[in-house]
């Protein structure tokens, strides 16, 4: 079912959290008076979180996140590409009701985290297809 979230419709650009800057696609046209999803960049700093003593590397990582009306948000086992595809298909069928998805990643990059566990062992965890580097909005 489609969600019609009236609260999010009132969002303005200045709702962006500091220090994350607006994304490249912030000028996405409004569909039927609703804000289509927009891409923003967020930097997660392990130092700011106070995790520097057990997360050896990296110091932090940046990632994109969407802000806007996503009618088919990410759920269990659904990745961003599938989510965007579904929303795009529904947008083509009902262009006035469902905004065009703008968060289809075209290139996903891996991220690795190096950290200590309870036994002083060191673990390198690699996440494939984790960070969206290029957006195909």
Name the residues that contact another protein, by CB under 8 A.
13-22, 44, 49, 51, 54-58, 74-77, 109-128
Partnered with residue 119 across adjacent β-strands are none
Q: Which is nearer to another protein, 5 or 32 (CB)?
A: 5
Task: Return all residues near 120 (Cβ < 8 A) that are at least 6 apart.
Answer: none
Q: Which is nearer to another protein, 7 or 93 (CB)?
A: 7
Distance in angstroms (rounded) separating the CA atoms of residues 70 and 101: 7
* Residue 18 C-beta: closest distance to another protein, Å: 4
- Answer yes or no: are the C-beta atoms of 91 and 70 closer than 8 Å: no
Q: Which is nearer to another protein, 77 or 93 (CB)?
A: 77
* Residue 83 C-beta: closest distance to another protein, Å: 12
Q: Which is nearer to another protein, 97 or 115 (CB)?
A: 115
Task: Return all residues near 73 (Cβ < 8 A) that are at least 6 apart.
Answer: 83
* Residue 102 C-beta: closest distance to another protein, Å: 19
Distance in angstroms (rounded) separating the CA atoms of residues 82 and 77: 10
Using DSSP's 3-state secondary structure scheme, residue 104 falls into coil
* Residue 67 C-beta: closest distance to another protein, Å: 12
């Amino acid at each position: 079912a489609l969600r019609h979230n009236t609260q999010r419709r009132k969002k303005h650009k200045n709702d962006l959290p500091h220090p994350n800057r607006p994304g490249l696609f912030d000028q996405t046209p409004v569909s039927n008076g609703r804000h289509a999803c927009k891409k923003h960049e967020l930097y997660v700093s392990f130092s700011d979180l106070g995790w520097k003593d057990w997360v050896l590397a990296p110091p932090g990582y940046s990632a994109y996140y969407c802000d806007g009306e996503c009618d088919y948000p990410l759920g269990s086992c659904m990745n961003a590409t599938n989510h965007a595809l579904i929303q795009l298909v529904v947008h083509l069928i009902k262009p006035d009701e469902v905004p065009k998805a703008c968060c289809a990643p075209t290139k996903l990059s891996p991220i690795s985290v190096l950290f200590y566990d309870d036994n002083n062992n060191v673990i390198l965890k690699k996440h494939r297809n984790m960070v969206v580097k290029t957006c195909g909005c």
